Amino acid sequence: MSNPSILILPGDGIGPEVMAQVTRIIDWFGEKRDLKFDVETDLVGGAAYDKHGVPLSDETMARAMEVDAVLLGAVGGPKYDDLDFSVKPERGLLRLRKEMDLFSNLRPAQCFDALADFSSLKKDIVSGLDIMIVRELTSGVYFGEPRGIHKEGNERVGINTQRYTESEIARVARSAFELARKRGNKVCSMEKANVMESGILWRDVVTEIHETEYPDVELSHMYADNGAMQLVRAPKQFDVIVTDNLFGDVLSDCAAMLTGSLGMLPSASLGLPNADGRPKALYEPVHGSAPDITGQGKANPIACILSFAMALRYSFDQGDEATRLEKAVEKVLADGARTADLMGPEDGTPISTTQMGDVILEAL
Amino acid sequence: MSNPSILILPGDGIGPEVMAQVTRIIDWFGEKRDLKFDVETDLVGGAAYDKHGVPLSDETMARAMEVDAVLLGAVGGPKYDDLDFSVKPERGLLRLRKEMDLFSNLRPAQCFDALADFSSLKKDIVSGLDIMIVRELTSGVYFGEPRGIHKEGNERVGINTQRYTESEIARVARSAFELARKRGNKVCSMEKANVMESGILWRDVVTEIHETEYPDVELSHMYADNGAMQLVRAPKQFDVIVTDNLFGDVLSDCAAMLTGSLGMLPSASLGLPNADGRPKALYEPVHGSAPDITGQGKANPIACILSFAMALRYSFDQGDEATRLEKAVEKVLADGARTADLMGPEDGTPISTTQMGDVILEAL
Ligand SMILES: CC(C)[C@H](C(=O)O)[C@@H](O)C(=O)O
Ligand SMILES: CC(C)[C@H](C(=O)O)[C@@H](O)C(=O)O
C-alpha cells in the first residue's frame, strides 16, 4: 500500500518559515514512528501569483483534490494589496475551500496553562479555556451571488449576498453536534435571527437537526453581537460554537485572541469523506502571513505544528500520535521555551523559529 | 419660543425602569438649570405590539419625525420570540432608524476609572480606554434587498443582501472624521475588502473622503476580523473606528464589553440636520432589555442617563450641561455607588435603580 499523501502549500510571509518546522516533524514521524507520508510542496497565494499570475494554478488545485490532506501556511501581504480582487492571494485560499467543499472549519481556542498570563484577559477568565468554534466555510456572504461593484446613476454600489440553503446549514450543524458529543456536549449557535432572514433559517435548521438527530446534546442560541460580548465577558461558558462564514471569521478571531497566543492556534477545514472514508481536508494556522516579521526567524511555528497534529487526528486516524505531538508542545512551553510573540518586552531573549522546532523534536 | 421637544419611548424589559430615572433628570434640568423640554411618552417594541399589533405605530413614527430628539429604552424579550419577523419588537427600532435616516451611530466605549477592575480584561489594558465607534446604521445587510426565505426545489434558502452606495459610505465617513478632529484625530476603518466587494468600495470611498476633505486626520484600514482581535489585544490603539452596520453591531458590542460596564454605555444615532440645524436624533443605551432582571429594581440607569447627556450635547448644543451630568455620574461612581451589575458576588449590597437615580440627582 502506498503512503498517505500530503500537499504542503507554505504560501506567503512567515508561511514558509513555520512550514519548514512542520516538515522536520513529518520526517520525524516517518523515521521514529514508522508513519510515512508522501509529501509534495507547491505554491499558493502571492507566491503562486508571482510565478503563474494566479493565486492558485489549476494544476495545484487538481493535486489538492487528489491528496489525503493539504497543509497550508499563510497567504497575503502588502506587496499584493493593489492586485485586482480576482487574483488577490486570498482568492487562492478561497478557491481551495470552495472546490474541496470544506464546509466545516474547526477552530479551537485553547488557553495553554503556561501562557495564561499572556492573555489581555484576567487569568481566571481564560485559564483552562477550551472552546471549539465550528465555522461554516463554503457559503454565506463569501460566495453568494450577485456580488460586485456596479454603477447606478453616477454612483458606484457595492453588493454581496448572504445566502444559505437548508442543507448547507444542516451539514455544518451536524459536524458541530458530532464534535460536541466528544467534548462537553454543548453547542451554542450564533446568528442575527432578529434582523436577518438567513439567520432565521439558520436557527430553524439547527433546531430541527438538534431535535431529530442530537436531542442528547445541549443546544442554545445567541445573537452574534451578544456572542462577541459573551466571549469577552465569560468565554468558559462555551463548549462548541457553530456559526456562519462571516460571523465565524470575526468571532473566531476574537476567541483566538482571548487565549493570548494566536501563534499557537491551529485549524482544520473538513469536507465530505472520500471513498476511503477520509474527509477532504486542509489544515492551517489561524494566524496570518505576518509580513512585519517575515524572514527574521521570529515566527512561532506552533500553530502550524498543531495544525499537523489535527491532520494526524482527523485525516490519518492517528489520535494517539496527535496527542504525542500536542504533549511535546505543552512540555516545551512548560519548560519555558518562548518565541518572541510569547514574551513581554522584559522577559529575556526569545528563541527562534528553528530553535522552537529543535526543542519540540527533542521533546518528541 | 417653545421648548425643545423630546419623545420618550421606554420600550420593553428594563426600558421603563431606567427611563424613569432619566425623566427625573430631565425635570431637574428644567427646574434647576432652566432648561425646559416638552416631553411626551409613547410605545415601541413589544409594548407597542401588545397595544397596536405593530412594534411602532404610524402615529408614533410621525411624532418621532417631528420632535427634536427621541430617547429610547430597549426593545425585545422572550415573550415576543415567536412573533412573525415583520412585527418583532426589533422592527420598531429598525423602522425608526431607517425612516429618520439615522445613518451615524455613535457608540463610545469608555472605561470608567472607578470600574476598571470590573472588566474581564487586565486593568492596564483597559484603564483610561476611550474609543468612539461610528457604525453605519441605515444600510448594509440590515436593509438590503432582495431578502427573505424562499423555496428552491425542495429546500428553503435564506437570503440577505449587503449593499452600500458611495454616498452612504461617504456620509458616515465624514461623520467619523469630524468626530476624530474633536478627539484623538485618528480614524480606523474596518471591513473585509479581502473577501467582499462591498468592502472594497467601502475602503475606496473612505480613502477618497480622507484625501480630499480630511487629510489632517490619521486614517488606517483594518480587516474586521483583525479588528475584533485588536480590540481584545490592545484596545487603546484606537480613537475613532468607522464600520458598516453589521460589523458595527458585533464590534461595538465587543468593545462595549471590554469596559466591563455595559450598563454604563450610551449611544447616539444621528441623521441629517433639520432646517434649524439640529440633526434628527435618537439616543439609547447600548444594553438590551435584560428580561432576566426586569421589574426587580436591579437595572443600572446610567447608560440611559448618559444617553440623555449625549442628547444635551448633540441635539441641544448644551455641551456644558452634558459635562455636568457626566461629571455627576463619575462622582457617584467614585463615591462607591454600585448597582448589581457593577459588583462581584462578595462586594456587599448593591443599590437599586431608583437609588442610583437619587444619588445622581444629589450629585447634580
Ligand atoms: C485570509 C482570509 C480570506 C480569511 C477569511 O476571511 O476567511 C482569514 O481571515 C481566515 O479567517 O481564514
Ligand atoms: C436590537 C437589534 C435590532 C439591534 C441591532 O442589531 O442593531 C441591537 O443589537 C443594537 O446593536 O442596537
Q: Choose the closest CB to B198 out of A159, A234, A250.
A: A159
Specify the pLDDT at position A60.
Answer: 98
In a domain, A123, yes or no: no
Examine the domain organization and report whether A249 and A280 are in the same domain. no
List residues of B with catalytic annotation.
Answer: 142, 192, 225, 249, 253
Portion of chain B with pLDDT greater than 90, in percent: 91
**Run of H or E residues at A124:** helix A123-126
Portion of chain B with pLDDT greater than 70, in percent: 100
Domain that holds residue A273: 1-109+262-364
| Strand bridging mode B5-11 / B38-41 | parallel
Q: Does B203 touch chain A if contact means CB atoms closer than 8 Å?
A: no
Residues of chain A predicted below pLDDT 70: 1
Measure in Å the smallest separation between the Cα of A69 and chain B Cα atoms: 24
In a domain, B122, yes or no: no
Other C-beta atoms lying within 10 Å of the C-beta of residue A328: 20
Listed residues B258, B290, B309: the one ending a domain = B258
- Is residue B346's pLDDT more than 80? no
The residue to which cell 489632517 is assigned: B216
Which residue is closest to A124 within chain B, CA to CA? B120
Listed residues B258, B285, B308: the one ending a domain = B258
pLDDT digits (tens, 9 = 90+) for B73-88: 999 999 998 899 899 9
Examine the domain organization and report whether A167 and A225 are in the same domain. yes
Examine the domain organization and report whether A240 and A271 are in the same domain. no
- Is residue B1's pLDDT more than 70? no
Structural domains of chain A, count: 2
In a domain, A336, yes or no: yes
Chain A residues whose beta carbon lies within 8 Å of the beta carbon of residue B162: 141, 158-162
What are the strands of the beta sheet with B155-165, ordered from one edge? A144-152, A155-165, B155-165, B144-152
User: Cα–Cα–Cα angle for A264, A269, A271, nearest 5°?
Assistant: 165
Examine the domain organization and report whether B189 and B279 are in the same domain. no
Distance from Cα A207 to the centre of ligand 1, integer Å: 28
Examine the domain organization and report whether A104 and A62 are in the same domain. yes
pLDDT digits (tens, 9 = 90+) for B86-114: 999 999 999 999 999 999 999 999 998 88
Closest ligand, as measured to the CA of B138: 2
Of the pLDDT bands very low, low, confident and very high (cuts 50, 70, 90), residue B117 is confident
Rounded CA gap, B248 and A195, in Å?
14
Rounded CA gap, A73 and A64, in Å?
14
pLDDT digits (tens, 9 = 90+) for B190-232: 999 999 999 999 999 999 999 999 999 999 999 999 999 999 9
The residue to which cell 485553547 is assigned: A110
Examine the domain organization and report whether B157 and B243 are in the same domain. yes
Measure in Å the smallest separation between the Cα of B94 and chain A Cα atoms: 9
- Is residue B345's pLDDT more than 80? no
In a domain, A119, yes or no: no
**Pocket lining: B249 vs ligand 2, CB cutoff 6 Å:** yes
Chain B residues whose beta carbon lies within 8 Å of the beta carbon of residue A251: 228, 250
| Residue A170 belongs to domain with CATH number | 3.40.718.10
Listed residues B231, B258, B285: the one ending a domain = B258
Q: In Å, how far are A68, A272, A328, B5 from A275, measured between CA atoms?
A: 11, 10, 33, 71
Judged by CB atoms closer than 8 Å, whether chains meet at A201 and B149 is answered as yes
Q: What is the DSSP string of B226-240?
A: HHHHHHHH-GGG-SE
In a domain, B245, yes or no: yes
Examine the domain organization and report whether B269 and B221 are in the same domain. no
